[in-house]
Structure 1
């Protein structure tokens, strides 16, 4: 109940920011990008189905538990949604409560290390993109508990909720996992102010580079 009240509060603050910046949700760019999101997400699911089947088998053979790991994240305007990932950690990874992933985290499975290094564990989020909960490019969605914590530590952090969260973003290609909430907010607000199809393409190309090199993985 307390978490739901906090999400509603965050949503209200994000709505104020959106009202003050109406162009964020009414430009032709937004509609054009939604069309691109649908086309790319559908094509991606078709192309990667064989890979997902192979990875599903590998995950089951490597450790006990589910193949997919749904997790509540805070979306645009503070609306919570179930983000999908391939499971990369042991099933009891959060038995002591939510905590941030560490470098060489012992909770990560053998297959999980490869999935996280290449970011392949994010592939199921193509479904979130198709459903309209996410976009290919945008601020990475945080869990409610971390959204609240980061907003307390860095006032204004919830302004990132003014646009759809993304599979990848300006903050991720500039800092990866090691970026601080303050830096993440700075990069994400810069993206929100300057976003365009050209910037989206640049972020997408930089993301492919990160996937190939495994830079910034945990």
Structure 2
């Protein structure tokens, strides 16, 4: 039943998912998820948002600092870059459903200003959060999933996933008992972390090229 208090060492969101729920009900239930310890430090759960029957679902890693504060995915600098890349590739960001493999922000504190620094989720945390992503996929039923980065790829395709090996190709896999088409690319935050303008531009162009593969598949 939703609201069930599960032991945190169980590492699963399953007890918090209401049976037969739609996206709005899932979003409300996810706000009370205690399926792993990440909820302790995060400001709030950041659930997916967008068109409820989108043809394309974009799956990232986890909320960042701004997403954690605002309660919506991809509203920070990486999200703005992603919207620009999607539009350039021919995909309307407003027609997509956007979510993350992990719904709480995982971070460490940096001294001396104690800024919150992103920390990658563990496989155990990804697995714990998996029921939420599975439920989103089942309800939205996208024609295509765009996998943004290694964490999202591992959450959907297993721990052996390597984004560099499959990026920019249309993959066909069975996920949660349903055949899916996927296109993998880098997470937009990796573009922002490039060392200089030249490297950043090359990374951005690579992201757009991968998204154009997704756009052609949707066309």
- Normalized per residue, the structure richer in helix is 1
State the TM-score, normalizing by the size of structure 1: 0.31
Higher normalized contact order (CA 8 Å, seq sep 6+, divided by chain length): 1
TM-score of the superposition, structure 2-length normalised? 0.31
